[in-house]
Amino acid sequence: MKKQVIYVIPQLYCFGEPICQMFYLKNIFCNDDKFNITVITYPLQKLRVNKHVFNVIMRGVNVIHTTDNQLIWFSTDAEKSSSFIEDDNNIYVIAERLELEKEFCIKYEGKERVSKYFSLSEIDILEGYRLRKELGIPRNAPIVTLLVRTRGWSKQPYEQVDYRNADIENYMPAINYLIQNGFYVVRIGDKTMKPVSNPPAKFIELPFHNSYTQFAEAYFIASSTFYMGTPSGPYSLAEGFNIPFLSTDSFIYPHVRVWKNDIHMFKRFYSHAYKRLLTYEEVLKSAIINFSKDSDFIKAGIDVISNSPEEILSAVKEMLQRLNGTYTSNHEMSKISEQLQKIQTKALNFQKRRYPDFPYMGIYHIAHSDFVPVSIEWLKTNPDLLY
């Protein structure tokens, strides 16, 4: 008899946390001969819901919607010393996202693939062909899906989260380069984002198109040569579909997980106290990695510096070359990889002395090799970052 793995998602919305959680759960409990997964959802907040994405990530899972927050393990007297409470019939997962991520990383350390990815159904693919036709995208044309987070993307007050945003105009040289090389660039987001004036014919801004539906995000991300853009929930969907991503205007978080073909390019931080840009090690050892709103940076005297158009363009060129095996700077990867790991180890030890439970993993790439999960071309223009 199969055991039920029972997990609660406390908000019914489908970019960000739930995508990560379902990806972890399916791969932690990937032996179909032993487990079924049941997900219980109960809405605590009224957030935007992409029902199509929800259906995709929940395929193969028993979903129960409820408004009852007195669920089994919230009212149980069982000792919650473990994130996984097991009885004869069920495994109750009470882990938060970081705990699930840790279990996931332990299981797949040193591996280049996982057991379970999200997938499109045959009906989804046919619907995608119809959407391509309406948008003027040939059926076999290569696609890069793009998200550039702007003020309208978040429902929080604008002044709190501008540090996560970027300007679409900085991406136009890279967009034009991709188009010149045969790609269609499909931008996702919503109608609050800043549109491009006089966009190129092969640049599709989905939210402003009459053919836009919620289905489009999942289809185009799953159909991309690679996904590109600022950190936000959709790049978790790219990971779930096994699509390489180029993370631009990214943030130096306590933990960043990447796969072999993924690349990050971070924002820089200018310190008015030091009168210079901070290094990677200085950021990892500082309170900056815990900042969550613009006022934190203002109080600390830190300016957040976005990627330049030239940096974004060079990273796109590097991404294409890495994917097709023609990148010529591979000889530099071993040295850079060692330097990254050295800095991360020092920062981890430093933060753990300050905060014993600090959830830091650095830039954690599952398949350990000489692969560098940061744009090397970007590092060349920021030589002070690692030293």
Domain check: are 32 and 135 in the same one? no
**At 277, which helix (H) or strand (E)?**
strand 276-277
Nearest to 220 by CA among 319, 125, 324: 125
Q: How many domains does the chain have?
A: 2
50 lies in the same domain as 136: no
From 6, 71, 69, 10, select the one nearest 36 (Cα to Cα): 6
* Sequence-distant (≥ 6) Cβ neighbours of residue 174 within 8 angstroms: 228, 309, 312, 313, 315, 316
Same domain, 325 and 372: yes
Q: Compute how many other C-beta atoms are within 10 angstroms of the C-beta atom of residue 256.
A: 20
Q: In this structure, is residue 271 part of a structural domain?
A: yes
Looking at the structure, tell me whether residues 226 and 164 fall in a common domain: yes
In a domain, 83, yes or no: yes
Same domain, 133 and 104: no
Instruction: Give me the tens of pLDDT residue by residue for the chain, a chain 387 residues long.
Output: 788 888 877 655 545 678 888 999 999 988 767 888 988 887 655 555 688 888 899 998 998 887 776 655 544 444 445 678 888 888 888 777 778 888 888 888 777 788 899 999 999 999 999 999 999 999 999 999 999 988 765 555 545 678 888 999 999 999 999 999 999 999 998 888 888 989 999 999 999 998 888 889 999 999 999 999 998 888 889 999 999 999 999 988 767 777 888 999 999 999 999 999 999 999 989 989 888 889 999 999 999 999 999 999 999 999 999 999 998 776 677 778 788 888 888 888 888 888 777 666 666 655 455 678 889 999 999 999 988
Residue 113 lies in a domain: no
Residue 142 belongs to some domain of the structure: yes
Examine residue 387 and state whether it is found in any structural domain, yes or no.
Answer: no
pTM: 0.89
φ, ψ of residue 258 to 5 degrees: the values are -135, 160
Same domain, 81 and 181: no
Which of 108, 142, 168 is the C-terminal boundary of a domain?
A: 108
Q: Is residue 114 part of a domain?
A: no
Q: Do 90 and 148 belong together in one domain?
A: no
Is 120 inside a domain boundary? no
pLDDT single digits (tens) 113-140: 888 999 999 999 999 999 999 999 999 9
Note down the domain range covering 96: 3-108
Give the domain-ending residue among 74, 108, 142.
Answer: 108
Say yes or no: 280 and 322 in one domain: yes
Contact present, 263 and 318 (Cβ < 8 Å): yes
Q: Which secondary structure element, helix H or strand E, spans residue 167, and what is its range? A: none
User: Could you tell me the two tokens for 138?
Assistant: 């040939």
Instruction: Assess whether 143 and 40 both reside in one domain.
Output: no
The answer to whether 245 and 238 are in contact (CB under 8 A) is yes
Same domain, 84 and 16: yes
Domain boundary among 55, 75, 108: 108
Residues 273 and 340 in one domain: yes
Residue 69 sits in the same domain as residue 150: no
Residue 115 to residue 28: CA distance in whole angstroms: 9
Phi-psi category of residue 64: left, alpha or beta, with phi > 0 → left and psi -120 to 50 → alpha: beta
| pLDDT per residue as tens digits for the range 226-264 | 999 998 888 889 999 999 999 999 988 767 777 888 999
37 belongs to a structural domain: yes
